[in-house]
Structure 1
Amino acid sequence: MPQRSEQKSEPIAIPAALQSAHDGFLRHMRLERSRSEHTLRAYSSDITNLLTYAIPRGAQTLEGIDLPLLRTWLMTLQESGLARTTLSRRSASIRSFLAWALRENLIDTNPAIRLQSPKREQRLPHVLQSNQIQRMFDAPPRTTNQGNADTQEPTAEERALADRNTLILELLYATAIRVGELVSLDIDSLDLDRRTLRVIGKGDKERTVPFGQPALNALDNWLRRSRPTLRNEHSGPALLLGKRGKRLDARQAREVVSKALADLGDTAARGPHALRHSAATHLLDRGADLRAVQEILGHSSLATTQLYTHVSVERLKESYQRAHPRA
């Protein structure tokens, strides 16, 4: 029986008025709101998704996008099996887009004001136990395939990369900064005397974050003996360097953390955010003030930081269930 050839749908041409609004909104978010390229790509994808749904249904300008159309668009996405987090993000993007369009007098009313989207699932972040954190730091970072690495003396480059990997882990857990913030650090971001970092976070907001003695020791090893080994004419002021001497990128840092966590063997946690979650939770478990933790994390809303108090309560309940005779 002959197979049917798959028909590829032709891309929908976006009218000039809608394309202009799309581009103007992204320009506003980039220049005036200092949104990251990652966030801008998400906005662009979400708005384009709505426009390609709306155009065949008669919308040639923003005035053609009304509340019933927005509701059927969301319903169609929901029926396609899209995750609630993605649905929530897409509807939030459209609300921001149409609110901007109203301010720019591109529309007379904003239909998205009454648009309700599925609430995000409030998943509690995975948190490492203190003994897992300790084991992670006790294990020497590996930078080569196992092979004969145990019998050969490491090269100067391998030692430098091992020191860098240790520093990545120490700084992420000590400061609870995001991986993008970590790889953006320059040498002059450090104040070694005060043991603080100057971090540029989301929206180009600057904050100062403290770190402890273990991170200071890792910084000293890296700056004194290992960064000079990797440094070259491409290094510039970057604190963390890749194997070729250029600024370390976020993907490489994620790989270092994921490998260290995988080597623990008893956790499903992966990636830098696991260390950020764990640091925040451990601070609150040990009595840190919620607003101080908010400042360290760089959260604009205290409600976001309060998620970590929920984590602590869950851990408290688990301990109670295990230990209390009448639990």
Structure 2
Amino acid sequence: MTATVARLPERTPEMTIADAMARFLRRDAFEATTRAAYAKTLTVLADAVGADTPVAHITTDAVEDLLHTRWGAAAATTFNRHRAAVLSFLGWCTERGWAAHNPARVVEARKVRRRSEDEKRERPIDRGRLDALWALERIPARDKLLWRMAYETWARADELLGLDIADLDLGRREGLVHGKGGDVERVWWATGSARLLPRVLTGRTSGPVFLASRRPTRPMPAADVDPDTGRARLSYRQAERLFAEVGERLDAEGATWTLHRLRHSGIAHAVEDGWNLAQVRAKSRHASLRSLEVYANPSAESIRAMTDALDGEARRGRRPRRSDA
């Protein structure tokens, strides 16, 4: 009887971190800024554990040590953002069978502790950082327009994202938004928004003003889909995440940048510049003057300017001494 030798199946090579990263980041699910932010975090992960290390060999201890060593001293929101990037990547790898479990899943997020005063009044973004924001390159015109309109109109972000092209009067630089309670209210924008609008609309005459970068993957209400491109209305969640990522670049040690801070900044800067509260209340569409107290929170720059303006010695110049007379 002739003995036969069964040939064992060849073992599939284990997926390395470098190869998994390349596959993860090339997905069509990411906006450009999101992809860049994830790439930055995952490059740190690859450098720490080795780019050629199999994904299956990454341990919870390694992930935890990396996060706390690299970002432990950063703000809780920064730590949590990098943790979320690692968690998303390793979860995606686990779904594909490259690892038995997600080692980042049990690494706890840090609790964001904010003083009650900060919760009551979120500080405006200072003018210097806003100038840097407007000057950023390689930012889609859609995002720049949303940020500009939030600052110039003082509208809430969800109101702006709900705008349709039919709601705009480009010549008068005004538009109609659905405010709190569903009331239709008028808002006005300035030159920064006026310059960006034609680039965003690109000849479109109907549909949402702010569109997502790609077609939706699930059925959407007809009113939220552009009839020409088939793309859906930009979601608040996506817009907020993109703005937070830009804020991390421009103000890494500061509070998280939210879209509401642009509205807050526009109102606060108008108060600083001396516009009377009745006018500010009308443009911001607040119900009462008392509700504007939160914005009477001057920035360090305005307090410094006020101190200089009140400096009597600077106004009068150097007094002549007797020997100079």
- When the two structures are superposed, what TM-score results if normalisation uses the length of structure 2? 0.50
Specify the structure having the higher radius of gyration (Cα): 2
TM-score (norm 1): 0.49
- Structure number having the greater helix percentage: 1
